[in-house]
Amino acid sequence: MEKCLAPSVLSADFGIIKEQLELIDKAGAKYVHFDVMDGMYVPSISFGFPVLKSMRKYTNRVLDVHLMIVNPERYIEKFAEAGADIITVHAEACTHLDATIDQIKSCGVKAGVAINPATPIANIIHVLDKVDMVLIMTVNPGFGGQKLIPYTLDKVRELRNFVNAKQLDIDIEVDGGINKDTIDSALEAGANIIVAGSAVFEGDVKANTEALLEKMK
Ligand code: DX5
Ligand code: ZN
């Protein structure tokens, strides 16, 4: 299974977003992680489709849209039109998760399902045959720069074992508190898509990206 780094632009400098996207692209990051927050599902508010549409002009990498919003089915088409390649919804935020996943796929983009630290894998087992990716939150969603919660990696391990045993073609993404000190344990647990916000965009973006990619070899 291919390993990919997904820098989260939540921690980027939006005054120079074009340059920041170029830096992560040149360093070799294959994904760009885009965190949408509505001030309801999570306390904070970030950005939405106009920003995604504008970023789409400056990157050919995989735009990985993480919707931390209530009832995300209201906006799936909008994010697909704005240029998303993958749309991930939170299992906890969907009234009809199965139908919302079908809706994402009907837009011609990949579908992901995310779960918070306190949500068990059992809650998404029945949709695994229709999703392309599972996002295991390794912090409580809402802010960048938090510390990874160790027990979340037990869920990554549990899901990796399940996916391997059933020979499912699913990516496992981890998000929150991933940096040069924690990335090894996330990879070892079985994650193959690695989100990193502050660990990429605080300081030397190119050097940070390269250092994380080096650990993923
Ligand atoms: C948190 C977001 C993350 C965030 C990660 O709710 O989903 O994608 O940007 O930030 P770091 O890597 O700084 O923990
Ligand atoms: Zn995220």
| Tens of pLDDT, residues 49-89 | 999 999 999 999 999 999 999 999 999 999 999 999 999 99
**pLDDT tens, 3-38?**
999 999 999 999 999 999 999 999 999 999 999 999
Instruction: Say how many Å lie between the CA of residue 207 and the centre of ligand 1.
Output: 19
What is 4-215's CATH number?
3.20.20.70
**pLDDT tens, 82-141?**
999 999 999 999 999 999 999 999 999 999 999 999 999 999 999 999 999 999 999 999
35 is catalytic: yes
- Whether 38 lines ligand 1, by a CB cut-off of 6 Å, is no
By C-alpha distance, which of 137, 115, 116 is closest to 125?
115
In whole angstroms, what is the distance from residue 94 CA to residue 100 CA? 7
- Whether 7 lines ligand 1, by a CB cut-off of 6 Å, is no
Contact 67, 96 (CB under 8 A): no
175 is catalytic: yes
Write phi, then psi, for 4 (nearest 5 degrees). -135, 145
Provide the 10 A C-beta neighbour count for residue 95: 9
Provide the 10 A C-beta neighbour count for residue 27: 19
DSSP code per residue over 35-87: EEEBSSSSS-B---HHHHHHHHTT--SEEEEEEESSSGGGTHHHHHHTT-SEE
Q: Is the pTM of this model over 0.85?
A: yes
DSSP code per residue over 162-207: HHHHHT---EEEEESS-STTTHHHHHHHT--EEEESHHHHSS-HHH
35, 38, 132, 171: the catalytic one is 35
Contact 136, 152 (CB under 8 A): yes
Task: Give, rounded to a whole angstrom, the gap between the first and last alpha carbons of the chain.
Answer: 12
Question: What atom of ligand 1 comes closest to residue 140's alpha carbon?
Answer: 6
Helix 17-27, helix 205-215: angle, nearest 10:
30
